[in-house]
Amino acid sequence: MPYIQIDMLEGRSAEQIKKVVKDITEVMVNDANASADAVNIVVRESRKDHIAVGGVLKSEM
């Protein structure tokens, strides 16, 4: 049972996220021989003021 976690910054629409999980599921079915029903995907979105790169918040970049 594949369990996939996706961490990304906030700002994508529900339709974009829906497409991402659909496409990743298809990859797992086609390339990893997984059953679509067995593919579990969790999408976690972070606020831009909660992520920093090089000591600078993404919200300030």
Query: Could you confirm whether 2 is annotated as catalytic?
Result: yes
Rounded to an integer, the average pLDDT of 14-26 is 98
Rg for the chain (alpha carbons), in Å? 15
Query: Are the CB atoms for 6 and 42 separated by under 8 Å?
Result: yes
What is the pLDDT, as a whole number, of residue 54? Answer: 97
Residue ranges per structural domain of the chain: 3-60
Q: Please give the single-letter amino acid code of residue 45.
A: E
Dig out the tokens for 2 from the structure: 């594949």
Catalytic, out of 1, 2, 5, 53: 2
Structural fold of domain 3-60: Macrophage Migration Inhibitory Factor (3.30.429)
Mean pLDDT across the chain: 97
Q: State percent of the chain over pLDDT 90.
A: 98
Q: What are phi and psi of 35, to 5 degrees?
A: -80, 135
Rounded to an integer, the average pLDDT of 11-31 is 98
Give 50's pLDDT tier (boundaries 50, 70, 90).
very high
> Going by DSSP bridges, is the β-strand pair 40-46/3-9 parallel, antiparallel, or unpaired?
parallel
For the entire predicted model, the pTM comes to 0.85
